[in-house]
Copies of this chain bind each other. A is one copy, B any other.
Amino acid sequence: MNNLFLVIIAGGSGTRFWPKSTSRRPKQLLSFSSASEPQAPSLLSQTLNRFDGLVPGGAQGQKHRMIITTQLLSEAVAQNAPQVTILAEPQGRNTAPCVYWGARAVAEKDPRGIMLVMPADHYISQPEKFRTSVRAAAEWAQVHDDLVTLGVQPTRPETGYGYLRIGSALPGGTCRKVDAFVEKPNAERAQEFLRAGNYLWNGGMFVWRADVILKAFDEFMPEMKRAWESSGGDLQKAYPQMTATSIDYGIMEKARNVVSFPLDCGWDDLGSWISLEGAADVLQARREGGVVTGGELLAVESDGNIVDAPGRLVAILGVSDLIVVEHGQAILVAHKEKAQDIKKIVDRLKTVRPDLV
């Protein structure tokens, strides 16, 4: 299919994986090593590579592949993505304006072009299975005026993701109607969702024709078109007037033509250091003493640790449930229960050591 257009959303700042991530090197530019890829490329590079053979690349990449990112990151992103069009947001305004910009850019080239909207920073261990699902979704979008989501088959009662409640199978048997978008559940509901079987993780991956999503914008967010038209079609100028909200909230939760293709391809969004434990099987990162996504771990009388220190040997003795990370000039040792407080460290460093955040 030569009418596929990849739109990667690669904004985001970098506090949750500090010190590996920083404001200038957020998650999408990081690599987490795995048994199958000890020298893994960045998550963004992996995301791009995943579409080789599906979306035209190489000399055609400039036309068929685009990355929407922030101005701060555009240079670093461009280094990771040499043959891709980079769109630098004038300011971060959540995902709905990104998608609108992407849809306009695709429609200019092919009004019925099929957009693959993808986050830049997810991990997928079985890219071939992923491509098979994306191809099926694209073929569906080609002939149906639907908004297709790629929902991820849950493998654990995860409370960190939103869910899609799916309904009856549509003709063909794989595609399912999406009945509802469900907020992040508590542990009990997450268990129910897993048992029930009709819930998928909402991974923020979408497949649709440019004309279909633009029509949805006109229906649910008509201010987007007004902003675009009043700026004479200059998205850079229109951007500040666009509603800063997510595509989920702005469009997906309201639209009635939402369907889903379930993905079962070893997917994880790697949301924080803690999430690496959930993703450890996918990353094949379990070792004696904990989960290791960089470097070597020698653990004595220690368990449940999360270690990322590429090129280093980390010896852990008599301590458990720690996050131990080394990057550049910084070393982090945090209790796992405090993972959400890493931003406290980052905030304090902003004044005393801005070079490190």
Contacts and interface: CB of A to CB of B under 8 A. Distances in A.
Interface of A: 19, 296, 298, 300-301, 309, 311-319, 322, 324, 326, 329-335, 337-338, 341-342, 344-345, 348-349, 352-353, 356
Nearest to A316: B333
A316 B338 CA distance: 10
Instruction: Determine chain A's interface SS by DSSP, over half rule.
Output: strand
A317 B338 contact: yes
A342 B331 CA distance: 20
Nearest to A353: B313
B330 A318 contact: no
Contacts of A349: 298, 313, 315
A313 B331 contact: yes
Given A298-B349, A341-B300, A316 B334 contact: yes
B318 A324 contact: no
B341 A315 contact: no
A226 to B, nearest CB: 47
Contact of A317 (B312, B329, B332): B332
A333 B311 CA distance: 16
B326 A326 contact: yes
A316 B315 CA distance: 17
The copy count of this chain in the complex is: 2
Given A298-B345, A300-B345, A330-B312, A319 B322 contact: yes
A341 B317 CA distance: 8
Contacts of A344: 300, 317
Nearest to A309: B331
Nearest to A311: B329
Given A318-B335, A319-B322, A338-B318, A313 B329 contact: yes
28 contacts: A298-B345, A298-B352, A300-B338, A300-B345, A300-B348, A309-B331, A312-B331, A313-B330, A313-B331, A313-B349, A313-B353, A314-B330, A314-B331, A314-B332, A316-B333, A317-B335, A317-B338, A317-B342, A317-B345, A318-B334, A318-B337, A319-B319, A319-B334, A319-B335, A324-B331, A324-B333, A326-B331, A331-B331
B356 A313 contact: yes
Contacts of A335: 317-319
A345 B301 contact: no
Task: Pick from A300, A318, A326, A341 the residue with the most CB of B within 10 Å.
Answer: A318
A317 B298 contact: no
